[in-house]
A and B are shown apart, each in its own frame.
Chain A
């Protein structure tokens, strides 16, 4: 079985400025965009400001991980055809990316895949 890698192990409460953390699991080949070559799971604890939307989070990750950024923002196909966003167990369509994040939100980024 693969082992989950969590950074850090515990997600803290909001800090003094109200910033909080959300969990982002990056799946399959997208992990390589985040410099993660191991077969282990990749789960990030990402700090965000109050009012941050799903799209803001993607932009934040894109800035932090340029390889991901180049593909996901520079991608001619648009975000959801390179990468699916699953927010608290719900798949997000392109028109729902303005949803505001809240503390404890759990996200998954999976590669988009079509075909058999």
Chain B
């Protein structure tokens, strides 16, 4: 084994919570060549060390938090982290990323990643500083929300605001709520597939990493500087530079116009109040202070203060599009100020906002139709847009109070438990995961992606930046099932490369050739573009193998009845995806080199990706 020397610290931090033991482990250069870092490295640990058949809450499950080979460098978007574990919502492989500073700070402390295993007998948090780490008592942090936890740990350890990065779980994670996530750096999150519940099962409240002082060695510092400049140019110019300037604040009206804004639990596609959510208006109502991630000059999300109205003085992270959409049109809250306070509460309680939105929308529809009554809901009148009732119910979910205890298991579980017609009103995938904050009936490629994903959330996202590199179909009709299946299959691996680098999508926009140059300038591995693309597809196929052994079957790769229903109004009226689903899935499997009946990658697929030994290992 040769330890990786460049673009890496050469080490990971191992933590056994059962034994209270912490140690360092060297990182093999060949492992980095095969998996790059971040999601890839985490998935390698997952398949090497976790029996796919165990439950997500089993102490033998691992929780991986890692940076990538560009982490800690001046290339924008690379201070992020990827979390890999066996997740609570699907009980399968999970890969979810958070921006912020944690990834850079971790590498400056001397570690590429943290791998936590076991379960602590008492609540702890992990404190990391230059070349050292310790588990500390967290009993005094229990029931604190994610912002309070961040404040309390920084105060306790004596760090200023940006001298430390803290990611924690809120009350929802402590109570093993299936939609609980990991939150930090003032509102960033790696929240999909119940990462917070996994940490709750391990009794680990938080990760706190000081802004370390160690430099990450790279083979070509000048080239890295040049690539940092080029990546900033991509961020500034892609899609008109809109994300760079406005973050995702402009999306709601556009999504409504194009028919992919989630409105009233998919009962309609029309949201007359859309213009109230326009970015320019929002930023005129609230004071926004820039609060960038390390090395990023984008104005994507700042800290926001409500300067007028009923919530004057409220200080929160500027919501993303998905927060506006999920806590606005989806549940019919029409005043952005109300959306702000609800989204803020969900973040503080530590739950993934889209899943909460599907839960709330389903409850409200059940209430309207009489399938759930005030009596069932602990006295709450869950009418559309009832802000007070929404705030109460999300707390009930986070603390598993009353009917909130059932909802804490997720919308799929709650709908199936209630049974009858109500199952048809819930939005979920057969695997139990939640769609992102869109109406995918207007974005078939993302519906397919959500359903076939092995990460617990979107896995691929069609590559629209470097489509020639990923062989996108020409022409591309967004409502043609063959085009959609081809675009999804051909793009597979593209987003995964970004997740292995742990690079924010809003900087390089999956510009794989640019990323390949950066990998080589940082690590000196001299990888070709094809090798890098293959890393993405290798990691996807490894998660697939893991999930198949964890109980995944192809019949679970489908949207629920409501999720795949036909829109009755708006721009996508009558665009029916359901009749095409089986053909689309079959085409996708074929292009992926997977067996249609079992979902298993074919031997030649595994061989091409150099992971045929994995199937053999698990066969034993």
List residues of chain A with CB under 8 Å of any chain B CB: 1-2, 27-30, 32-33, 39, 76-78, 80-81, 84, 86, 89-91, 93-95, 108, 110-116
Query: Looking at the complex, which one of B258, B461, B480 makes contact with A115 (CB distance below 8 Å)?
Result: B461
Contact A86 B475 (CB under 8 A): no
- Per CB-CB distance, the 5 closest pairs between chain A and chain B, nearest first, are A29-B240, A91-B571, A29-B242, A39-B280, A93-B477
Can you report 30 residue pairs joining A to B where beta carbons are below 8 Å apart?
A2-B275, A27-B254, A28-B240, A28-B250, A28-B253, A29-B250, A30-B240, A76-B467, A77-B467, A78-B475, A80-B475, A80-B476, A89-B570, A89-B573, A91-B258, A91-B442, A93-B480, A94-B475, A94-B476, A108-B257, A110-B258, A111-B239, A111-B240, A112-B258, A113-B254, A114-B445, A116-B320, A116-B321, A116-B322, A116-B437
Can you add 6 more A-B contacts, CB < 8 Å, to A76-B468, A93-B480, A111-B239?
A29-B242, A86-B257, A86-B259, A91-B259, A95-B475, A111-B254
* A115 / chain B contacts, CB cutoff of 8 Å: 461, 505
Number of residues of chain B lying within 8 A (CB) of chain A: 47
Residues of B235-291 contacting chain A, CB below 8 A: 239-242, 248, 250-251, 253-255, 257-259, 275, 278, 280-281
Contact A80 B478 (CB under 8 A): yes
Query: Looking at the complex, which one of A28, A86, A108, A116 makes contact with B242 (CB distance below 8 Å)?
Result: A28
Q: A-B pairs with CB below 8 Å: how many?
A: 97
Determine whether B511 belongs to the interface, using a CB cutoff of 8 Å to chain A.
no
Determine whether B479 belongs to the interface, using a CB cutoff of 8 Å to chain A.
yes
Could you mark each residue 454-479 of chain B with 1 if its beta carbon is under 8 Å from any beta carbon of chain A, else 0? 00001001101001100010111111
Least Cβ–Cβ distance between A90 and chain B, in angstroms = 6
Chain B contact surface mostly: loop
Query: Looking at the complex, which one of B239, B458, B570 makes contact with A29 (CB distance below 8 Å)?
Result: B239
Determine whether B557 belongs to the interface, using a CB cutoff of 8 Å to chain A.
no
Query: Looking at the complex, which one of A30, A39, A78, A110 makes contact with B474 (CB distance below 8 Å)?
Result: A78
Least Cβ–Cβ distance between B198 and chain A, in angstroms = 22
A84, A93, A113: most-surrounded residue (chain B CB, <10 A): A113
* A28 / chain B contacts, CB cutoff of 8 Å: 240, 242, 250, 253-254
A27 to B258, CA, bound (A): 11
* B443 / chain A contacts, CB cutoff of 8 Å: 114
Could you mark each residue 551-594 of chain B with 1 if its beta carbon is under 8 Å from any beta carbon of chain A, else 0? 00000000000000000001111010000000000000000000
Determine whether B29 belongs to the interface, using a CB cutoff of 8 Å to chain A.
no
* A81 / chain B contacts, CB cutoff of 8 Å: 464, 467, 476
* B442 / chain A contacts, CB cutoff of 8 Å: 91
Given contacts A32-B240, A78-B474, A114-B464, contact A93 B479 (CB under 8 A): yes
* B446 / chain A contacts, CB cutoff of 8 Å: 114
Contact B258 A86 (CB under 8 A): yes
CB-nearest residue of chain A to B573: A90
A113 to B258, CA, bound (A): 10
A77 to B239, CA, bound (A): 12
Least Cβ–Cβ distance between A24 and chain B, in angstroms = 13
* A113 / chain B contacts, CB cutoff of 8 Å: 239, 251, 254-255
Query: Looking at the complex, which one of B436, B480, B571 makes contact with A116 (CB distance below 8 Å)?
Result: B436
